[in-house]
Amino acid sequence: MNPSLYWSVRRELWENRSIYIAPLVVACVSLFAFTISTIGMPQRRHATLLLDPAQQRAVIAKPYDGAAMVLILTGCIVAIFYCLDALYGERRDRSILFWKSLPVSDVTTVLSKASVPMVILPSVVFVITVITHFLMLVWSSIVLLPSGLAGTTWTRFNLFTQSLILLYGLIAIALWHAPIYAWLLLVSAWAKRAAILWALLPWLLIGLFERIAFGTSYWGAMLKERLMGFASTAFQFNGPTVDTLRGLTPGRFLTTPGLWAGLVFAAIFIAAAVRVRHGRGTNE
């Protein structure tokens, strides 16, 4: 990695502790809630083991899947607010004057900020989620040990397999949402104030215009697809969740036109953010 890019990324981690603090807080809350839920677990586990194997897995894995989903959602929320403030904040507090005096290009600065929602946050969420799952497994084993059912959770919830599924899912989400994060970075570089309004209003107004003028909602459907469409292309669902590696469809995901169109727009937005930061950063 380029040394300038490396230290720029380190700077983002130093200045934005919410990148790892927010997921840690959510993980602690999830662990506390799970600890409370284990009261009476041995009795419930006996009843669960009377179900068929698929239902057993669904019931036992439910709290683990829930913790993962909450942490992924937390990562997405942190990424959105980070992008909105990433370039806007340095102009607001005038710190851009200092950073521009250093031998770091606008390209390096913007790329370091783009790497946070697309690389750093997914990595942080992955590590914290795996640790959370491991601690949940250990605690459930301790609770179930006196009843002789300690191994039932480990056999129904394969930590290694679920970690691979989680990693694949986080990569798919980051790639699919790349144009969203790049757009927010562009708005952050351009907006003088109320960046969140400038980020949302154009898309809402286009949808409103289409609805009033033509009575259709294709624009809204396109936005929904950009937010949630990764799931139907990256996974093959046989139920509410994916519990085996056979449910992963990377070939279909990587050949989806929507993925590559989104990445092209992400590159355009990032290039525009670099240009805007270079031209406007020091004269506001």
Which pLDDT score, from 0 to 100, does residue 104 have?
A: 66
Is residue 219 within 8 A of residue 210, CB to CB? The reply is: yes
- How would residue 209 be classed by pLDDT, with cut points 50, 70 and 90? very high
Enumerate the domain spans of the chain.
Answer: 3-280
pLDDT in tens, 105-129: 788 889 999 999 999 999 999 999 9
Q: Which residues contact 26 (CB under 8 A, 6 or more apart)?
A: 70, 71, 74
170 touches 72 (CB < 8 A): yes
Number of H helices, E strands in the chain: 16, 0
Confidence of residue 262 (pLDDT cuts 50, 70, 90): very high
Q: Convert the pLDDT of each residue in 132-188 to its tens digit.
A: 999 999 999 898 888 888 777 787 788 899 999 999 999 999 999 999 999 999 999
**Contact predicate 96/281, CB 8 Å:** yes
CB contact at 8 A, 83 and 147: no
- Tokens 């994916």 label which residue? 242
